[in-house]
Structures are given as C-alpha cells and as structure tokens.
Amino acid sequence: MIQSLKDLFNKISKLPNDLQEQLALEISRLLSNLEWDKLLNHPKSEKLLVKMKEEAVVDIRAGETVDADEVFGIHEITDNQKVHKTSK
C-alpha cells in the first residue's frame, strides 16, 4: 500500500465509528464500480451482453418473464435524484 493511503487510513481510524462506516461504504461502492467497469470493458463483454439480450427477448416472447412490479412492488425507482416510473 502506498504511503498516502496509509496516512489516510490512519486519519480515518481516528474518526467516530459512524463516519468510518460511511467511508467504508463509499470505498466499497467505488471498488464495486471499478470492478464493473473492468468487466464491461473486457473484449468478451459485448458478445455476452448481446447474447443475454437475445435470450431475454426470447424469454419475453415466450411469456417466460414476470412483471417486476408484481415481484418487487416497485412503481418508481429513484436513482441519483432521477425518478424512473415503471409501466404496467
């Protein structure tokens, strides 16, 4: 680990536990986003996503899917201040 990260984690260790939890969650989210970026930028990911889309279309046409509203009871999804309304 580089020294600047060691210094930062040392400072974080002196913060109240609730702030440490918040920072841990943010760091975890950042790492997760980096992993997704790596996966989606992999050369094989485009082929996989196209295949998954094709399989989803086949499932939808065959009636093998269910409405997400029925499963989750969600009618609006809030994402970074944007509201996406699901259709019935």
User: According to the model, what pLDDT value does residue 88 have?
Assistant: 46
**Residue 65 to residue 46: CA distance in whole angstroms:** 23
Strands (E), 8-72: none
Q: What is the mean pLDDT of residues 11-21?
A: 96
**Residue 5 to residue 1: CA distance in whole angstroms:** 7
pTM, rounded to two decimals = 0.50
Could you give the dihedral angle defined by the CA atoms of residues 22, 24, 28 and 30, in that order, rounded to the nearest 10 degrees?
70
* Whether the predicted pLDDT of 24 surpasses 50: yes
Structural domain spans, the chain: 3-85
Per-residue model confidence as pLDDT tens digits over 25-77: 999 999 999 998 998 888 889 888 899 999 999 998 998 888 777 777 765 65
Q: Which residues are CB-contacts of 57 (< 8 A; sequence separation ≥ 6)? A: none
Strands (E), 29-88: 76-79, 82-85
